[in-house]
Amino acid sequence: MKIVGVQTENGQVNVASLASDGQSVEILANLDEFWSSPSSYLYSAGRGEIIPAASLRFVPPVLPGARVICVGLNYLKHVAEGTYRNEDLPEYPTLFARWTQSLTVDGAEVPVPSGEDGLDWEGEIVAWVGDTLVDASPDEALGAVLGFSAFNDLTARRAQKLTSQWILGKNADQSGPLGPMIPAAEVGDLRDGLQVTTRVNGEKVQDGNTSEMVYTLGETLAHISRTFTLRPGDLLATGTPSGVGYAREPQWLLQPGDTVEVEVERIGKISNTIVGNEARHSARSVTDAALR
């Protein structure tokens, strides 16, 4: 099962199940209804309206108020190529935030922001929270995961490195392509080891395995839940393997015209094209015209 978000002509966002051939979707519920009881709607397939996919706009099935929490430096080899290469591993994971407005979908164009030499790829897995978590144990937290998606944490490195806070570089427009959600029961435990692969113009640039994670999914969600409540619809991006562009010699960043693809075993594949900064201005013009 592949769970997606679709927007109708009247602007309503619905959560739907995508047919195996990609030609149609079955509407499960509107966005708010789905996340009010996600497990029940997830397994209600077979009773919803069928709509041709070509008539719909695909959007992330993410609540506007959802928290998008990201783990930095969570694969051993990626730690070795980054900030902590000569230091002991931190006791707790490095966490940063994305806003939901930075998320997009498979196939979307991603612009390079002004002043950047390009964008850096970070293929990874997102876990979707399906139940409320407060002071959870790792096992409770793991049991609350509704599903998983392939994700690309595309990063504006110059903006990221301007200060010690990463939020600016991690929230560029359209910089968070998110694939369909696959139910957790179909994916299994990340500790069993799933391959995470990133390709740029067909060339493999990342090839890691979730068994290399420093901080496990259950432990990380439990850690977060001790400080703030996690609710259905919140997301956790679990970190990227080694092979990112900025750590290479010479540095390699994505340029307009490049295609970047993230593929995760049992979860699926997303592919996005990089475009120039002028695309951001074009999008603004369209938005301004719609508001007038």
CA distance 211 to 72: 16
pLDDT at 98 over 80: yes
Q: Structural domain tally of the chain?
A: 2
Query: Do residue 261 and residue 197 come from a single domain?
Result: yes
Query: Do residue 137 and residue 230 come from a single domain?
Result: yes
Domain boundary among 59, 76, 99: 59
Q: 173 with 280: CB under 8 angstroms?
A: yes
Q: What is the mean pLDDT of residues 104-124?
A: 97
CATH number of the domain within which 214 lies: 3.90.850.10
Q: Encoding tokens for residue 241?
A: 């393997």
Predicted confidence at residue 122, as pLDDT, reads 98
Per the structure, the complete domain to which residue 212 belongs is given by 68-291
Query: Do residue 26 and residue 102 come from a single domain?
Result: no
CA distance 254 to 149: 22
Query: Do residue 205 and residue 109 come from a single domain?
Result: yes
Domain boundary among 38, 59, 80: 59
Q: How confident is the model at residue 283 (pLDDT cuts 50, 70, 90)?
A: confident
Query: Do residue 172 and residue 205 come from a single domain?
Result: yes
pLDDT at 286 over 50: no
Predicted confidence at residue 75, as pLDDT, reads 86
Q: 67 with 230: CB under 8 angstroms?
A: yes
Query: Do residue 102 and residue 37 come from a single domain?
Result: no
Query: Do residue 152 and residue 117 come from a single domain?
Result: yes
Residues whose CB is less than 8 angstroms from the CB of residue 228 and which lie 6 or more positions away in sequence, other chains included: 67
Which residue type does 244 have? V
Q: Per residue in 56-68, pLDDT tens?
A: 999 999 999 999 9
Query: Do residue 51 and residue 81 come from a single domain?
Result: no
Query: Do residue 129 and residue 37 come from a single domain?
Result: no
pLDDT at 160 over 90: yes
Query: Do residue 30 and residue 84 come from a single domain?
Result: no
Q: What is the mean pLDDT of residues 236-253?
A: 95
Provide, rounded to the nearest whole percent, the portion of the chain with pLDDT above 70: 93
CA distance 176 to 179: 10
CA distance 266 to 1: 11
Q: How confident is the model at residue 91 (pLDDT cuts 50, 70, 90)?
A: confident
Q: What is the mean pLDDT of residues 63-76?
A: 93
CA distance 75 to 110: 25
Q: Per residue in 8-39, pLDDT tens?
A: 888 899 999 999 999 999 999 999 999 999 99
Q: What is the mean pLDDT of residues 69-77?
A: 87
Exposure b/e, 116-147, CB count within 10 A at least 16 = b: bebbbbbbbbbbbbbbebeebeeebbbebbbb
Provide, rounded to the nearest whole percent, the portion of the chain with pLDDT above 90: 84
pLDDT averaged over the chain?
Answer: 92
According to the 3-state scheme, what is the secondary structure of 99-151? Answer: CHHHEEECCCEEECCCCCCCEECCEEEEEEECCCECCCCHHHHHHCEEEEEEE
Cα angle value 202/166/64 (rounded, 5°)? 85
pLDDT at 82 over 70: no
Query: Do residue 93 and residue 33 come from a single domain?
Result: no
Query: Do residue 190 and residue 83 come from a single domain?
Result: yes
Q: How confident is the model at residue 80 (pLDDT cuts 50, 70, 90)?
A: low
Q: What is the mean pLDDT of residues 220-235?
A: 98
Domain boundary among 59, 82, 108: 59
Q: How confident is the model at residue 260 (pLDDT cuts 50, 70, 90)?
A: very high
Q: Per residue in 205-227, pLDDT tens?
A: 999 999 999 999 999 999 999 99
Predicted confidence at residue 88, as pLDDT, reads 73
Residues whose CB is less than 8 angstroms from the CB of residue 123 and which lie 6 or more positions away in sequence, other chains included: 150, 151, 152, 196, 197, 198, 206, 240, 241, 262, 263, 264
Q: What are phi and psi of 69, to 5 degrees?
A: -105, 135
